[in-house]
Amino acid sequence: MTMDGRPSPTRDPLLKVENLVVEYSVGGRTVHAVSGVSLEVARGETLGLVGESGCGKSTLGRAVLQLRRAQSGQVLFDGEDLTAMQGETLRKMRRRVQLIFQDPIASLNPRRRIGDIIAEPLVIAGVDDPKERERLVHEVLTAVGLDPSLVMGRLPHEFSGGQCQRICIARALVLNPEFIICDEPVSALDVSIRAQILNLLEDMKSRFGLTLLFIAHDLAVVKAVSDRVAVMYLGRLCEVGPSEQVFAHPAHPYTALLIEAIPVPDPDVRPAESVAVGEPPSPLAPPSGCRFRTRCPRADRRCSEEMPELREVAPKQFVACHHPLIAGA
Amino acid sequence: MTEPALLSVEAVAVDLPTPRGNLRAVDRVDLSIGAGRTLGIVGESGCGKTMLSRAILQLLPKKAKLSGRVMFDGQDLVRLDPEALRKLRGRSLAVVFQDPMTSLNPVLTIGTQLIETLQEHLELDGPAARIRSAELLAAVGIPAPEQRLAQYPHQLSGGMRQRVAIAVALSCEPKLLIADEPTTALDVTIQAQILDLLAREQRRRHMAMILITHDLGVVAGRADEVAVMYAGRVVEQAPTSALFKNMHMPYTEALLAAIPKIDAAPHTPLPAISGRPPDPTRPMEGCSFSPRCRHAAGQCYREKPALVAAETLDHRFACFHPIQLAAGACA
């Protein structure tokens, strides 16, 4: 792994999720959070994962890290199946994969000093020399744009949301991971701070040669940082493809709906009236066939009977729809 | 505009005592809105937009000190007695908050909450109020309204709850609706539906609306006029199209530029605003945006720029180094 640039992309994806199913029970009923999702993230790539709340995107992120165990399916990281790992082997592997959460303030222990918060992963990883730990903490704080001498001795409440997110990013970077899962890292931040953090993530990605899974509900934010996007609806993937291609020519009616719903900061662009129909059904009882059919203007009988599988409709663009918006090959 | 404003906020200031000293949340704001019009108030967290809306509603925290006048429909709300205010709020002055769970009572059914409002303000009898409640739920797009009346807020999704909160707010045909970040907690597809609903009901009722948001994208297609707030003050205000086409305040420009654009190529660096908003307990001498502004120079650090008129009287900005200003326009 290089410090000075992106590692050269190899043919093997760094992360490969295969037919992952995550279900859990709530009051005796089963939540179908992730229902057979397969995706790949190449080394040095950023894959954006978008969808509305409750679509299973965060559960998917946690299942990759084995913070929530999958019912079936595989999570191959650098060729090794994380779902088969336990105890120390899994802990060792987790050093290579880190997670950044949505609420930066809530994910920092309010009673610990910043220096200790960032050093903790090092302690767990067995870096025993305090001097060495301090050196690494210094380095990583400087990298995220904070002054170590001003920051290390202070407590999380003394910082703003944007600064706390910088601290969380520093904590995620301190073990020099290869892969970072960012779960809505900017949705709790103000517009002006959001841009700073997005730029910082991009900067860190190229500097530390990272691969990112970037989970968010805001398509414009996802597009700003992602090479490819995966659109998720009620536990299943609707569409996967290169960002520019998907945004310019969405193939799934749900992707098109998400794009149309983004408010455009231009008074000449009249908001499209009622592009969105209804709300997502409950993941306790997902519709038969295509899960989007209850909100889809193109749905017919086939959609309720037959579950659409992902298929390639344009180079590298895959869609799970019986009636895609672009004619397939 | 020849008709008198429905609401005019005159030199309103709000001070909050905090352990760290006095916090000036709203700093001498003047705004007005005519009947049936929409005013967008845009700003980041802590800029005072919510405190301003609370000052209009006379719902400030007990310790807060309010000065200035809030003229609504010919009366100064600041001087109104609590009973008259209570009658006015909910009747001709209504509000929708960001989190519908905080404005709905979790232990009362939706029906009880709607019926109570209608009986209190419109003096309808029980059966009439019940019929009207179901009609209101249908009007805000809630399927099976009769059954919903018997449900509790926690049984509904976030989007449905916000529809209920809007139904409660609209129930007494208010003249002014204050919508404080009404869609921030919602998904983007639901946001579009709720904003459409507000716009439709507003047109139908000829109701004025103040739409408070942190997202310039939300006000762009929906407000007649926009006021941008920063550190407790209005720093630019204009009819929406004039503001977007010809913004003068560097903060407005920076705020717009910082939004990721859907048509930009991936990995395009965003023009971020460096630093962060000032500490409101430490008043600054100069322009409060000056530490983050790339146009700032000498005078900006010493004096506060006043809100002055630009090309037209209804476009005002507070800046010593305005951008894109036609020569000789500054009043």
Cβ–Cβ under 8 Å, residues A238 and B211: no
Whether residue A9 is predicted with pLDDT greater than 60 in this model: the reply is no
Query: Per-residue confidence at B186, pLDDT binned at 50, 70, 90?
Result: confident
pLDDT tens digits along A39-85: 999 999 999 999 988 899 999 999 999 999 999 999 999 999 999 99
Interface test with B, best of A26, A47, A190, A196 (most B CBs within 10 A): A190
pLDDT exceeds cutoff 70 at A329:
no
In a domain, B275, yes or no: yes
Contact B222 A243 (CB under 8 A): no
Among B44, B158, B191, the residue with its CB nearest the CB of A192 is B44
- The answer to whether B218 contacts A52, with C-beta atoms less than 8 Å apart, is no
Q: What is the pLDDT of residue A328?
A: 58
Taking 50 as the threshold, does the pLDDT of residue B73 lie above it?
yes
Tokens coding A82: 């994380």
B186 to chain A, minimum CA–CA distance in Å? Answer: 9
Give the per-residue pLDDT at B313: 87
pLDDT at A169: 96
Token digits of residue A198: 């997005």
Instruction: Give Cβ neighbours of residue B302 (< 8 Å, ≥ 6 apart).
Output: B285, B286
Domain containing B288 equals 252-262+269-331
pLDDT score at B327: 53
- Quick check: is B285 in a domain? yes
**Interface list for B 76-95 with A (CB within 8 A):** none
CA distances from B261 to A29, A192, A218, A262, B279 (A): 41, 14, 11, 10, 30
Q: Give the bridge partners for A47, in sequence order.
A: A213, A228
Q: Which residues of B209-244 are buried (b: 16+ CB within 10 A; e: fewer)?
A: bbbbbbbbbbbbbbbbbbbbbbbbbbbbbbbbebbb
* Least trusted range by pLDDT, from B80-89, B96-105, B306-315: B96-105
Nearest-by-CA chain A residue for B264:
A224
pLDDT on residue B232: 95
- From chain A, pick out residues whose CB is under 8 angstroms from the CB of B258: 191-192, 194-195
pLDDT tier at B293, thresholds 50, 70, 90: very high
- C-beta separation of B250 from B219 below 8 A: no
Which DSSP letter does residue A139 get? H
Which of B162, B164, B181, B188 best probes binding to A when mutated, by most A CB atoms within 10 angstroms? B188
CA dihedral B130, B133, B135, B137 (to 10 degrees): -140
The answer to whether position B101 is within a domain reads no
Chain B residues within 8 A of A267 when measuring between CB atoms: 220-221, 240-241, 244-245
pLDDT confidence of residue B280: 84
Which amino acid is it at B59? Answer: L
Domain assignment present for B281 = yes
* A103 inside 8 A of chain B by CB: no
Residue that is written with structure tokens 């301003």 in the block: B52
| Mean pLDDT computed over B134-162 | 89
Query: What whole-number distance in Å separates Cα of residue A237 and Cα of residue A239?
Result: 6
A5, amino acid identity:
G
pLDDT at A6: 43
Closest CA to A49 of A203, A255, A314, A295: A255
pLDDT per residue as tens digits for the range A76-112: 999 999 999 998 999 889 899 999 988 888 899 999 9
State the pLDDT at residue A108: 94
Angle at A56 between CA A52 and CA A58, to 5 degrees: 90
C-alpha distance from A36 to closest chain B C-alpha (Å): 24
Q: Would the CB atoms of B256 and A276 count as touching at under 8 Å?
A: no
Q: What is the ipTM of this complex?
A: 0.84
What does the angle CA A59 – CA A221 – CA A215 come to, to the nearest 5 degrees?
Answer: 10
pLDDT in the model for residue B2? 52
Distance CA B126, CA B32 (A): 38
Contact with chain B for residue A158, Cβ under 8 A: no
Q: Tell me the torsion sign for CA atoms B271, B266, A11, A67.
A: positive
pLDDT tens-digit readout, B195-237: 998 999 899 999 999 999 999 999 998 999 999 999 999 999 9
Angle at B258 between CA B257 and CA B259, to 5 degrees: 95
B239 touches chain A (CB under 8 A): no
pLDDT score for A113? 96
pLDDT digits (tens, 9 = 90+) for A191-228: 888 999 999 999 999 999 999 999 998 899 999 999 99
Residue B191 has pLDDT above 80, yes or no: yes
User: Would you say residue B122 lies in a domain?
Assistant: no
Helix and strand numbers, DSSP H then E, in chain A: 11, 12
> How much is the pLDDT for A5?
43
Angular region, A320: left φ>0, alpha ψ -120 to 50, beta rest: beta
Strands B176-180, B93-96: pairing is parallel
Nearest alpha carbon to residue B6 among B28, B41, B39: B39
User: DSSP assignment of B166-193, as one string?
Assistant: HHHHHTT--SEEEEESTTTTS-HHHHHH
Is B169 an 8 Å CB contact of chain A?
no
Average pLDDT over residues A307-322: 96
Q: Report the C-alpha gap between A196 and A184 in whole angstroms.
A: 15
Which amino acid appears at position B114 of this protein? L
Nearest to B169 by CA among B209, B222, B214: B209
Rounded to the nearest angstrom, the minimum Cα separation between A128 and chain B is 36
Residue B277 pLDDT greater than 90, yes or no: no
The DSSP output letter for A299 is -
DSSP secondary structure string, B229-298? Answer: EETTEEEEEEEHHHHHHS---HHHHHHHHTSPPTTSPTTPPP-PPPS-PPPTTS--SS-TTGGG-TT--H
Q: Which distant-in-sequence residues (6+ apart) come within 8 Å of B75 by Cβ? A: none
For the ranges A260-274, A307-321, B33-47, B300-314, which has the lowest average pLDDT? A260-274
Q: Which of B193 and B29 is assigned the larger pLDDT?
A: B29
CB contact under 8 A, A224 and B215: no
**Substitution target from A147, A166, A184, A192 for chain B, most B beta carbons within 10 A:** A192
Residue A10 has pLDDT above 70, yes or no: no
Please check whether residue B193 lies inside any domain of the structure: no
In angstroms, rounded to a whole number, what is the distance separating the alpha carbons of residues A185 and A144? 14
pLDDT value at position B211? 96
- Residue B246: pLDDT over 80: yes
Q: Can you list the alpha helix ranges (DSSP code H) found in B66-187? A: 82-88, 100-103, 110-122, 126-139, 145-148, 158-170
Q: Which long-range contacts (CB under 8 A, 24 or more apart) does A132-140 make?
A: A136/A174, A137/A170, A137/A174, A140/A170, A140/A173, A140/A174
Q: Starting from the edge strand earliest in sequence, which strands make up the sheet with B75-76, in order?
A: B21-33, B7-18, B65-72, B75-76
Q: What is the pLDDT of residue B27?
A: 94
Mean pLDDT, residues A270-299 taken together: 83
Dump pLDDT digits (tens) for A124-143: 999 999 999 999 999 999 99
Give the per-residue pLDDT at B98.
85
Q: Which chain A residues have a beta carbon less than 8 Å from that of B230? A: none
Contact at CB, A219 and B261, closer than 8 angstroms: no
A-contacting residues in B 29-58 (Cβ below 8 Å): 44-45
Mean pLDDT of the region B255-268 = 91
Residue located via tokens 């010809």: B246
Q: Mapping DSSP to helix (H, G, I), strand (E, B) and coil, where does residue B102 land? A: helix
B188/A262 CB distance under 8 A: yes
Confidence of residue B57 (pLDDT cuts 50, 70, 90): very high
Measured between beta carbons, which residues in chain B are less than 8 angstroms from residue A255? none
Pairwise CA distance, residues B305 & B277, whole Å: 17
Query: Given phi > 0 = left and psi -120 to 50 = alpha, else beta, which region is B215?
Result: beta
pLDDT category, A8, cuts 50, 70, 90? Answer: very low
Interchain pair A199, B272: CB under 8 A = yes
Residue B325 lies in a domain: yes
pLDDT of residue A7: 47
Name the domain count of chain B.
1
* Average pLDDT over chain B, rounded to an integer: 91
Which residues are CB-contacts of B324 (< 8 A; sequence separation ≥ 6)? Answer: B246, B247, B248
Query: Among residues of chain B, what percentage have pLDDT more than 90?
Result: 69
Subunit contact A192:B191, Cβ cutoff 8 A: no
pLDDT-derived band at B3 (thresholds 50, 70, 90) equals low
- For residue B226, the Cα-to-chain-centroid distance in whole angstroms is 10
Kindly state whether residue B5 falls inside one of the protein's structural domains: no
Q: Which of chain B's residues have a Cβ under 8 Å away from the Cβ of A279?
A: 157, 159-160, 190
Residue A2 has pLDDT above 50, yes or no: no
